[in-house]
Amino acid sequence: MNLTVVEIKAFVPARDFERAKAFYLALGFELPWSSDDLAYVRHGNTSFLLQRFYVPEHAGNFMMHLLVENADDWHARVLAADVVERFGVRLEPPQDRPWGLRDFVLTDPSGVLWRIGHNLPLAAAG
């Protein structure tokens, strides 16, 4: 019996499917595949499925976590992509968290909350 898990993907809601795809492309994600209702969104070895589906209560309570090597570099990338102005999204500055991460909050155009961060050294988390 082989119970190896290969991958797990979230289905991320999109109020305006085309606008959401443009947002993720602006952040440097790729869209290797897209249909009328679903898009495969990838950055390196990580991915999720963006879906043409929107219920405000669902999207407003949906959260994604992107673990990166350097949250400050990613924050700079988000600022350089000008997505706050272009897409009317919320962006907070990076902060060290008591749970051992340095991260920042970014919302997408549908209200999905992203926490983008990196692990802190164990002594700093302590």
Q: How does pLDDT run across 1-49, given as a tens digit for each residue?
A: 999 999 999 999 999 999 999 999 999 999 999 999 999 999 999 999 9
SS3 call for 37: coil
Residue 54 falls inside a structural domain: yes
In this prediction, what percent of the chain has a pLDDT beyond 90? 95
Q: How many CB atoms lie within 10 A of CB 70?
A: 13
Task: Annotate 84-123 with DSSP letters as a single string.
Answer: HHHH---B---EE-TTSEEEEEEE-TT--EEEEEEEPPHH
Residue 1 domain flag: no
Q: Which amino acid would we find at residue 11?
A: F
Provide the residue range defining the domain that includes 64: 11-125
Structural domain contains residue 3? no
> DSSP state, 58?
H
**Where residue 32 sits, what CATH number does that domain have?**
3.10.180.10
Answer whether residue 68 is part of any domain: yes
* Structural domain count, the chain: 1
The answer to whether residue 33 is domain-embedded is yes
